[in-house]
Amino acid sequence: MSIFHRSIKPDTATKESEISQTKKQKMDADYFENYGDIAIHEEMLRDKIRTNAYRMAILKNYKKFYGKTVLDVGAGTGILSLFCVQAGAKKVYAIEASEMAEQTRRIVKENEMEERIEIINCKVEEAELSEKVDIIVSEWMGYNLLYESMLESVLFARDKFLKKDGHMFPDRASLYIAPITDDDYTDRLCIWNDVEDFYKVSMKSMIPYARRCISKTVQIMCIPQEWIQSHGCQIFTSNLKTSSLSEIQKVQSNFEFKCFGHSTIHGFVTWFTVEFPDDITLTTSPYTDETHWSQTVLHIRDPFNVEQDTTINGSITIKPNDSKPRFLDICLVHKKDDGHEKIETFLMDEHLT
């Protein structure tokens, strides 16, 4: 037994549980408030790669939708619900917990679909339907796939509302990682060398601090293909029809890379892919057109040089933050060839850059 183990009295445990629940409720309220703002919906609708992938997946699978009941989890403006009706759905339950739900009702009426789309303004965990559904559609993916933890709500809806022979749109999700060089990294550090030339005072002592700041901040950015220094490695995949909640609450995977050639490794990049029935794929890969998700970049504290076939081994763990579960804790362990392991930790919170 650890010497740091402490007993928690029942009343203390209850109080801590209540505090934790209060924090979660506050975070959920903030989350849904953000989705009531118009800006995030503008960004998603401007993402034609994202929106057309869903449109194509739904319309191409019209035989699955025709005459069926559908649940749209996190409906937003209701655009996926509209697509489902266009594909022949008999009834769509569009659940939207934010104040956007009122606007969604107007959009549904504008498109003369109010007899087939029912807007439900609550969290899916609080919703009640009069029937089981044939299909669940949801655009639940966040940065780094799992940021914001919406997938948990989708699986909750699946277990409560989906018929046994029902379909999930999308029905599979995967996450990938690769080492990168960053051409902008040196420029960001050079400013501290250049201060002396600009202003005749020295600030070189800032360089170690600047490195630490860069390495602890998760960046959301579209990276050039040429930054990638090895083939990507799949670190997570989920069959959304069968995966359990425990399987998605903690991602843990090993990786190994063989580098393409001479370069400096400044960090790692992740991207994701989701798949729909009938072989339709939506990806945020740096090798394809940009989406609003971009890629997720994790800079390391101590960049290192590599050559052709240099091996990088390691592991990555991704899980919801204990106190703020819509945020992510990431632990990255890596080593070059037979060198020493380095451990990097990151918090994906609201301070993404």
Residue 307 is among the residues annotated as catalytic for this protein = no
Which is the catalytic residue, given 148, 152, 275, 344? 148
Q: Sort residue 114 into left (φ over 0), alpha (ψ -120 to 50) or beta.
A: alpha
Integer Cα distance of 239 and 237 in angstroms: 7
The helix/strand/coil state of 217 is coil
Residue (of 297, 266, 265) closest to 284 by Cα position = 297
CA dihedral 261→263→269→271, nearest 10 degrees, is: -30
Residue 112 is among the residues annotated as catalytic for this protein = no
SS3 content of the chain, % helix, strand, coil (to 5): 35, 30, 35
Cα–Cα distance list, 351 to 135, 149, 240, 263, 293 (Å): 35, 17, 29, 29, 15
Which residues are CB-contacts of 166 (< 8 A; sequence separation ≥ 6)?
Answer: 132, 133, 134, 135, 136
The single residue listed with the structure tokens 């409906």 is 75
CA dihedral 172→178→180→185, nearest 10 degrees, is: 60
Residue ranges of alpha helices (H) inside the chain are 10-34, 38-46, 48-60, 62-65, 79-86, 100-110, 151-161, 183-199, 207-216, 245-249
Integer Cα distance of 155 and 140 in angstroms: 11
Integer Cα distance of 299 and 183 in angstroms: 12
Which is the catalytic residue, given 18, 43, 139, 247? 139
Catalytic site positions: 139, 148
